[in-house]
Amino acid sequence: MSEDGHILKECGREEMPMTVYEAYQLLYSAVFLALVLLAGCMLIRAMIGPRITDRILSINMLGTMVISGIAVLSRLLDESYLVDVALIYAMISFLAVMMLAEVYIPAARRKGEKPGGKRHG
């Protein structure tokens, strides 16, 4: 930081202030990296479980993070068509989670388990 509060970057021997565009690029890159790390954590949670509802919720959260990542990538690359891809992916992700819930939660009830994974009685 300089005395007047501007963020400076090294450019050879001369220091130049960071532009707003470069600051946004840095911000979008950091957010995208955080979303990738959190999506990895959700993938691990989906594999570990232990209950079926945990797995369904982690798959839902993973889909949400992918949608957010696509939206951030759209701004980072300045490609507006990626927003349309994110919207389509949101619809597909919603349908996939609804189908998983429809298939697995009634199956758990038939086995005598609550949707949370514990058995009755």
pLDDT digits 0-9 by tens, 54-84:
888 999 999 999 999 999 999 989 899 999 9
Give the pLDDT confidence score for residue 49 in this predicted structure: 82
Q: Is the dihedral of CA 81, 82, 83, 85 positive or negative?
A: positive
- Sequence spans of domains, the chain: 34-110
User: In the structure, what pLDDT confidence band is assigned to residue 120 with cuts at 50, 70 and 90?
Assistant: low
Average pLDDT across the chain, whole number: 83
- The span from the CA of 88 to the CA of 74, in Å, is 14
**The pLDDT of residue 13 is above 70:** no
Report the predicted TM-score, pTM, of the whole model to 2 decimal places.
0.71
Question: How long a stretch of residues is the chain?
Answer: 121
- The span from the CA of 45 to the CA of 27, in Å, is 27
